[in-house]
Structure formats: C-alpha cells, structure tokens
Amino acid sequence: QVQLVESGGGLVQAGGSLRVSCAGSERTFGNHAVAWFRQAPGKERDFVAAINRSGGGTTYADSVKGRFTISRDNGKSTVYLQMNSLKAEDTAVYFCAARWSATYTPSTSRHEYEHWGQGTQVTVSS
C-alpha cells in the first residue's frame, strides 16, 4: 500500500510561483505513475498533470500547459509540481495520486488511480 503525503502548498500572489511535493512511502514508488488533481470548493476533482514511472512521459491539462511542470526523483520517492504564472483560478486543494503502471503515457482519469494523498491547499490571491 503506497502512502502519499503532499506538502508545499500555501498562499501566493497572482503571477507568482509555488512548488508542491508528493512523497511516497514505498520503495516500489518507482513502479507507479503519479498524477496531480485539484479540487476547488463546490467543483469536481480535475486532472492537472501526470508523469509515468520513469519520468520520461508526462501529460498536462490544457489549462496549465506552459505554466506547470511535473517531475519526479525516484531516489527520493518524490514527485514535484512546479507552478509558475499562477492565476486566481488555480486556487484549489491539490491532491497527488499513484497507480501501478508500465504505460508510457500516464492516465488522466482519477478513477484509475488507487492511492491518494490528503491534499494541500494552494491559494492564489488576485
């Protein structure tokens, strides 16, 4: 059972940057694709970005392309989401999720991810 812990959320002004991290508990973390999702109050949990188990394949939601970058360090069992040029509409609770997967292109569907963290709040003030 992979346990995931997010960190790095906080309050930032519009146009600023923030990096959130997702630390995994298992030494098999490197066999898992990892994704970030976000959920604003009263809204669905939406896909943000995902990375395959090696880090060689990534995919992004259109709303964050060119602004956010997902990366991973399997030696540290950690996935990062670097968020630049933040907008007020990026305000949400950010969740990381993991699934055992060998595919090159990671899934964007929250229903396919088995393990979830507790979330970290990101607030962008305008």
Per-residue model confidence as pLDDT tens digits over 42-99: 999 999 999 999 999 999 999 999 999 999 999 999 999 999 999 999 999 999 999 9
- Confidence band, pLDDT 50/70/90 cuts, at residue 27: confident
Question: What is residue 99's predicted lDDT score, i.e. its pLDDT?
Answer: 96
Question: What is residue 73's predicted lDDT score, i.e. its pLDDT?
Answer: 96
State the burial class of residue 37 (Cβ atoms within 10 Å of its Cβ: 0-12, 13-18, 19+): buried
Question: What is residue 46's predicted lDDT score, i.e. its pLDDT?
Answer: 98
Q: What is the mean pLDDT of residues 7-16?
A: 97
Question: What is residue 117's predicted lDDT score, i.e. its pLDDT?
Answer: 97
Question: What is residue 29's predicted lDDT score, i.e. its pLDDT?
Answer: 87
Question: What's the CA gap between 102 and 104, in Å, rounded?
Answer: 7
Between 89 and 1, where is the model more confident? Answer: 89
- Whether 31 and 37 have beta carbons less than 8 Å apart is answered as no
